[in-house]
Amino acid sequence: VTADEPPLDYGFLADALDAADARAFVHVGDADADLRYLSRLPDTIDEYGFVYTDGEATLCTSSDADCDDGSVVETFSGQVRRESPDDPVGTRVVAALADYGVSEGATVLVPRQLPHDAAVYLESAGYDLASTPVVGETRAVKSEWELDRLRAVQRAAARGVERARSILADADVRAGTLHWQDAPLSTERLRRQVNATLAAEGVVDVTATRIRHGTDPARTPVKLSSGTPVVVSLAPRGRHGYYGTLTRTFVVDSDGGWERRAHVGVESARRVALAELEPGASLRWVHSEAVAEASSFGLPASDGDRVSGVGLARREAPSLADDAAVGHVVALEPSVTDDDHGSVALADLAVVTEDGCDLLVECSTSLVP
């Protein structure tokens, strides 16, 4: 939340209420992406509520809810109600609705992931709940401010990939095993170095960083070998809550075998996906065209291969079932996998524009570190 952040326009909620003949929209949580979009708050320790009715947005927090970072709720553009943390958020939301004159029997729109106990409090107070996907649909289209935040975290991801590349480039091979700074280089050691770079670039969550090596199990640290694909897969979350998505594959001392062919196929699939992604294109079509391209090299697509929206959640609208629209930010993640060699994967974020799409951040796809 920064001073330059424009206030959120809640008009889409007013439209959804009109369309459903509903009186209010309610959400409750502490870290849900829809709720963070509505409140512009980071993850909180305590649950809080969001209420929208009669054109007015209100946060129902406890006196404790913002203690973690006291200045945060001051940046919310609507009303803030502070009540005792001893009352469940559900009862505080019901009290707010009553104060706003929303009477029993009214329809209240809620997202499908509203916590069950909040739903029970609302229903016990006589409201009819109806589920709405409108928040997720609305936040699929990014504002310029959001695109700036996504570019910032994607630039940090590119620095993380560059850190991995430079370590692999500096590594020397002893009896087939990579050594860096005079010690064997493991997936875990590389992961920590990359994560330290991401954190130094301002990233706050590196939970999703994966270093895969050949066919080795993903979560067991293993020493890196020459001639084996090392997949550096990053989905860092920046301090404003937006996720990057960037994957590159490197092979030290490649003998030019399977991984070279796989890399050519995956690069080609990536080009096809970028060429097909444009307003009106079905994401399932973009995905199937990329898979077909990789297949034309005799390479089966791997399970992880996907096309989906990215923003305040690592995966969000649009999904494969949707058509691309201007302002969608989409992860393109072509990959191929092989029982003997492992995987070769690339992933990038692209924003859909009037006449196609643009990569959020450019990053070399070279297989050679």
Cβ nearer to a copy of itself, comparing 202 with 356: 202
Closest among 230, 247, 244, 250 to 305, alpha carbons compared: 247
84 is a contact residue toward a copy of itself (CB under 8 A): no
Burial 340-367 (b: 16+ CB within 10 A, else e): ebbbbbbbbbbbbeeeebeebbebeeeb
Least spacing, CB of residue 201 vs a copy of itself, in Å: 7
Closest among 32, 28, 34, 40 to 16, alpha carbons compared: 34
222 is a contact residue toward a copy of itself (CB under 8 A): no
- Binding map of a copy of itself across residues 272-311, x = CB under 8 A, - = no contact: -------------------------------xx-x-----
Interface with a copy of itself (CB under 8 A), residue from 78, 202, 279, 356: 202
Residues 237 to 256 in contact with a copy of itself, rule: CB under 8 A? 237, 239
Q: Which stretch binds a copy of itself (CB under 8 A): 49-57, 63-71, 166-174, 347-355?
A: 63-71
Contacts of 12 (CB under 8 A, 6+ apart): 134, 138
Interface with a copy of itself (CB under 8 A), residue from 113, 215, 254, 295: 113
CA-CA distance, 256 to 233, in Å (whole number)? Answer: 22
Residue 10 in contact with residue 19, Cβ under 8 Å? no
Least spacing, CB of residue 215 vs a copy of itself, in Å: 11
Residue owning tokens 């951040």? 361
Residues 117 to 136 in contact with a copy of itself, rule: CB under 8 A? 117-120, 129, 131
Q: Which stretch binds a copy of itself (CB under 8 A): 51-59, 101-109, 111-119, 137-145?
A: 111-119
CA-based torsion, 261, 264, 266, 269: positive or negative: negative
Cβ nearer to a copy of itself, comparing 260 with 315: 315
On the 0-12 / 13-18 / 19+ scale of CB atoms within 10 A, 6 is exposed
Site residues (CB under 8 A) for a copy of itself? 1, 31, 42-43, 45-46, 63-64, 67-72, 110-120, 129, 131, 188, 192-193, 195-210, 217-220, 237, 239, 303-304, 306, 314-315
